[in-house]
Amino acid sequence: MTELKENISNILYFESPSMQGLYDYLVIWQNTTQKRIRSLIIQQDHENFCGIVIADSQDVSQTQLKPYADAMAKFQRKALKHIGVGVSFSTDEIKPEKILAIQMKLEKCKIPN
């Protein structure tokens, strides 16, 4: 059986008799808590595999959406200044196909929506 001992801080301790069990428990923990693992150390202690995790205080969903949302807001501000024109815009946060689709629609746009 895998164990978890959580400290008040962002330091956590996991233990399992198998490496696969430790991995499975870390995946479940990360998916359940939505916390990002900043650092992970795994050592074998007698018959068990032990992991010490340092986790971010922010959850994963917030940190992943913020850059995308910021990029979309920037794209929107630029588009509103150039209504009816397929403005050029480039970022790693928005997929190129999505940027192209928006640019094509912007060329047909007559009023801000």
- Its domain, for residue 44, covers 3-59
Asked if 27 and 73 sit in the same domain, the reply is no
The pTM for the full model equals 0.46
In a domain, 92, yes or no: yes
* 52-91 residue pLDDT tens: 999 887 655 555 567 888 888 888 888 888 777 777 888 8
* pLDDT number for residue 14: 93
Is 113 a domain residue?
A: no
Residue type, 1: M
Give the count of alpha carbons within 13 A of 9, CB side only.
5
Give residue 113's pLDDT: 55
- As given in the structure block, the two tokens for residue 96 are 């190129």
CA distance 95 to 91: 8
SS3 at position 22: helix
Average pLDDT of the residues of the chain: 81
The answer to whether position 101 is within a domain reads yes
Residue 9 has pLDDT above 50, yes or no: yes
The tally of domains found in the chain comes to: 2
Identify whether residues 75 and 44 lie together within a single domain.
Answer: no
